[in-house]
Amino acid sequence: MANEPAAGVDGSSGPHVVVLSGLSGGGKTAAAKLFEDLAYTVVDNLPGELLPNLAEMVVQDPERFAKVAIVLDVRAGDAETAYRAMRGALEGRGIRPQVFFLEASDETIIRRFSETRHRHPLANGRSTHAAITLERRLLDPIRAESDVVVDTTDLPLRDLRERLFARLGDISPDQMTIQLVSFGYKFGLPLEADLVFDTRFIQNPYYVPELREHSGLTDQVRTFVLAQPGAEEYVELIERLLEFSIPAFAAEGKSRLTIGIGCTGGRHRSIVLAEELARRLRERGIGPVDVLHRELERA
């Protein structure tokens, strides 16, 4: 089950600890309430100096703290130092925390602060936009080590719940997690993407009347797209690039790689190539591999 306690770093069963981080206004408060619904003990805004003590409490009383979600962001002071101290304290006691990072576009966060009339924690004379820019820089080391990155820009609460809970317990210390995100350029790049590939050189099924209303998940659109000049070769080139780069990313300590596959509207070409690439990566044993079709979720 997704919400069962995850194994410790030594493979033994133990408490499942979630670290919930991300941008102010990115959706952490909503996510924390969702974890509460799953009977997680949620600890929010604990001073960074006390986080190692919390790790000790989790280890000493695993029944009481079988499921813990720790909200850690810039309010902790030096967020990166606090994160590394807490993570080190947990892993030193055999518990591998699962790190979730929530973010959104600058425009969305500015709008959320305006609607709630809250003050950004890093404002201190700065504009909200300047505070967001600083916060992104301060939290980037945590984002880089996160197991799951979620862009909440256009994500309803129901979909946020599904996105988070689908990945609970999905930890494999020795294997990188790959997420493929199909998207439409007209709706913007996915913020969580580490690599982005453009499929707009392929003929667009949107302009084929009998294919327009079908998505890239259907056999007729898939057959049409993969039959276009260069489509299969493009997938092969991406596959070869990933075969080379994934071990290098893993050697640098990266546990998650998010790959964006884009077309104009995100409903045809990008979906076909994302599904085809996922199939090939799974056949090679590179995984786990997840696929998210952003614009289908939007619809």
298 band by pLDDT with thresholds 50, 70 and 90: low
Task: Give the CA distances from residue 169 to residues 35, 99, 107, 160, 288, in Å, rounded to whole numbers and listed in that order.
Answer: 13, 10, 32, 16, 13
Its domain, for residue 282, covers 177-298
**What is the Cα–Cα distance from 229 to 255, expressed in whole angstroms?**
34
**Which tens digits make up the pLDDT trace of 56-87?**
888 888 888 899 999 999 988 888 998 998 88
Is 21 in the same domain as 158?
yes
Is 35 in the same domain as 134?
yes
Is 21 in the same domain as 152?
yes
- Mean pLDDT, to the nearest integer, of 145-161? 87
215, two tokens: 């998505």
**What is the Cα–Cα distance from 217 to 75, expressed in whole angstroms?**
43
Sheet holding 195-198, edge to edge: 195-198, 256-263, 177-184, 289-293
- At 287 the pLDDT is 66
Task: Using the predicted structure, report yes or no on whether residue 13 has a pLDDT greater than 70.
Answer: no
The residues, any chain, with a CB within 8 Å of residue 180's CB and separated by 6 or more, are: 258, 259, 261, 274, 277, 278, 289, 290, 291, 292
Is 26 in the same domain as 122?
yes
Q: What is the identity of the amino acid at 146?
A: S
**Which tens digits make up the pLDDT trace of 111-121?**
999 888 888 99
Among 165, 188, 215, give the residue marking a domain's end.
165
**Which tens digits make up the pLDDT trace of 162-191?**
888 888 876 554 567 788 999 999 999 988
Is 30 in the same domain as 140?
yes
Among 140, 165, 190, give the residue marking a domain's end.
165
Task: Using the predicted structure, report yes or no on whether residue 1 has a pLDDT greater than 50.
Answer: no
Angle of the 269-283 helix axis to the 219-226 helix axis, nearest 10: 80
Residue 170 lies in a domain: no
Is 30 in the same domain as 71?
yes
**Which tens digits make up the pLDDT trace of 31-41?**
999 999 888 99
**What is the Cα–Cα distance from 279 to 210, expressed in whole angstroms?**
26
**Which tens digits make up the pLDDT trace of 188-247?**
998 889 999 999 999 999 999 999 999 999 999 999 999 999 999 999 999 999 999 988
Residue 6 lies in a domain: no
Is 161 in the same domain as 196?
no
Indicate the SS3 state at residue 1.
Answer: coil
Radius of gyration of the chain (CA): 20
Which stretches within the chain are classed as H helix? Answer: 28-37, 51-60, 79-91, 106-116, 128-144, 157-165, 219-226, 231-251, 269-283, 294-298
Task: Using the predicted structure, report yes or no on whether residue 299 has a pLDDT greater than 60.
Answer: no
Nearest Cα to Cα of residue 97 among 107, 89, 105, 87:
87
Q: What is the identity of the amino acid at 129?
A: H
The residues, any chain, with a CB within 8 Å of residue 141's CB and separated by 6 or more, are: 80, 83
Is 190 in the same domain as 289?
yes
pLDDT above 70 coverage of the chain, percent: 92
User: Mean pLDDT across the chain, nearest whole number?
Assistant: 87
Is 181 in the same domain as 221?
yes
- At 2 the pLDDT is 39
